[in-house]
Amino acid sequence: MIAKNIDVKLNVRTIYIGLVHEYAYEGPCCFGEGDALEKEFDQMVSRETYEIFKQDVFSHVPAGINMMDPIYLEATDEWVNSEKIYETMSAEIDKIDLFVFNKS
């Protein structure tokens, strides 16, 4: 039986990738002084902006959308991602219709 469009529920997964600098230095995307240059500060800011991202996305979800559990990941300024990141993103991929990523 062919489903009607109105009866189809899209499965959407949000993925937030926070950039965490491994070392304290100033550069084009990392500026400040003292603790603001530390890895822990980047992690804290990424977690805070992740919560804002989730609230923003989930507050604009129309009817007919099934929002799957969001995923939080961290990438480093080494720009080489571990295989674990890709495994995490592709979990349940057969059930996901659309990914929504953050823009950093």
Least confident of 2-6, 27-31, 48-52, 53-57: 27-31
Residue 101 has pLDDT above 70, yes or no: yes
27 or 45, higher pLDDT: 45
pLDDT per residue as tens digits for the range 40-85: 888 898 999 999 999 999 999 988 899 999 999 988 877 787 899 8
Identify the bridge partners of residue 14 per DSSP, sorted by sequence position. Answer: 100
Q: Of the candidates 17, 15, 16, 13, which has an alpha carbon nearest to the alpha carbon of residue 68?
A: 13
Domain boundaries, the chain: 5-101
Q: Of the candidates 11, 9, 3, which has an alpha carbon nearest to the alpha carbon of residue 70?
A: 11
pTM, 2 dp: 0.77
Q: Would you state the pLDDT for residue 59?
A: 94
Tell me which DSSP letter residue 69 carries: P
